[in-house]
Copies of this chain bind each other. A is one copy, B any other.
Amino acid sequence: MLTKPTHLFDDATRVTAGDSRWQGQTSPDYWAFVGPFGGATAATVLRALIEHPERAGDPLAVTVNYCAPIVEGPFDLDVRLVKANRSTQHWSVELSQNGGEVATLATAVFAERRPSWSHQPARMPEAKPFAEIRPYPEVAASWVRQYDFRFIEGLPDFRSDAKAAPQSASSKFWIADKVARRIDHLSLMSMSDAFFARIFHARRELVPIGTVSLTTYFHLDAEDLAREDISHVLAAADAKVFHKSFGDQTGELWSPSGRLLATTTQIVYFKA
């Protein structure tokens, strides 16, 4: 019997059901400089919630606080439904390893979204089609190799003279899973952390960085998202300020149809 092989992303974010305690493990396929790619961690947390038997509705808002490095290997997810109302649920998730301290602390809001007035003031940034742009070449970090990046603006050039005046911190690119995978809330969660650090763009060099806290809002429910039926999104990000070792990032993920799928913001530690 032929079985369809699992997508690496689904492997990397797999969780094993418990009652309030779930298990997962890091994946070498989504590895960053010194630990798992934060987007994969966030997607793993979200997967535990989506697959939870008490879950109702779709992800609306997720905040992930990266408290400490996650080391290679298994981890526990302590999943708690803090409060449920008629149409929203509030969850808390703590990721820990070796029975030890918390490495990741997350909260999530799920909602059953009802029809309403609909209006999208934001406009999709202009972009040449995905197919017309050359893929970004492979780089060392394994998680980057899992994605097909097609830069429209802010093509990484991190080997320039770092002493030059600050450059633009903004970037714009199409992103897809390297092995095609239909966009769902899990991939949006992960892609919302798939922007290169803003400081790399602004300084045109790699410096030590680490996301401290990430918040993503989802603007389409699962039904809307399935109807888009897409495997790549337009990703745009920028930064407003870098100061005293921390900088921010704001980002948007767009469907090729022009719908805003998710907005995201994060605060990032840097050493520079």
Chain B residue, CB-CB nearest to A219 = B241
Contact of A244 among B114, B121, B122, B240 (CB under 8 A): B114
Docked Cα-Cα span, A102 to B212, in Å, equals: 25
Q: Is B109 in contact with A82, judged by CB distance below 8 angstroms?
A: no
Contacts of A63 in B (CB 8 A): 63, 65, 107, 213, 215
| B interface footprint on A47-67 (CB within 8 Å = 1, 0 otherwise) | 000000000000011010101
B contact residues around A271 at 8 Å (CB): 116
Contact between B121 and A60, CB atoms less than 8 A apart: no
A117-B242, A120-B240, A240-B120 as given contacts; A83 in contact with B109, CB under 8 Å: no
Is the CB–CB distance between B260 and A213 below 8 Å? no
Q: Are B116 and A272 in contact (CB under 8 A)?
A: yes
Closest CB in chain B relative to A98 CB, distance in Å: 14
Beta-carbon contact of A263 and B245 below 8 Å: no
Interface stretch among A6-14, A38-46, A86-94, A130-138? A86-94
Does A250 sit within 8 A of B, measured CB to CB?
yes
List A residues 235-257 near B (Cβ within 8 Å): 238-246, 248, 250, 252
Q: Contact between A82 and B94 (Cβ–Cβ < 8 Å)?
A: yes
A241 near B111: Cβ-Cβ < 8 Å? no
Quote the shortest CB–CB distance from A201 to chain B (angstroms): 10
At the interface, yes or no: A105 with Cβ under 8 Å from chain B? yes
**Is the pair A118, B248 in contact by a Cβ cutoff of 8 Å?**
no
8 closest Cβ contacts across the A-B interface? Answer: A122-B240, A113-B244, A67-B83, A61-B213, A117-B272, A67-B90, A63-B63, A116-B245
| Contacting residues, chain B, for A260 (C-beta < 8 A) | 240-241
CA gap between A2 and B260 in the complex, in Å: 57
Q: With a CB–CB cut-off of 8 A, which chain B residues contact A19?
A: none
Given contacts A88-B212, A217-B265, contact A224 B250 (CB under 8 A): no
A166 within 8 A of B: yes
Chain B residues with Cβ below 8 Å from A215 are 63, 213, 215, 265
With contacts A244-B115, A244-B116 known, is A90 near B61, CB below 8 A? no
CB–CB B65/A107 < 8 A: yes
Given contacts A102-B82, A242-B116, A244-B114, contact A212 B121 (CB under 8 A): no
A243 x B120 contact (CB < 8 A): yes
Q: Kindly state the separation between the CA atoms of A82 and B250 in the bound complex, as whole angstroms.
A: 26
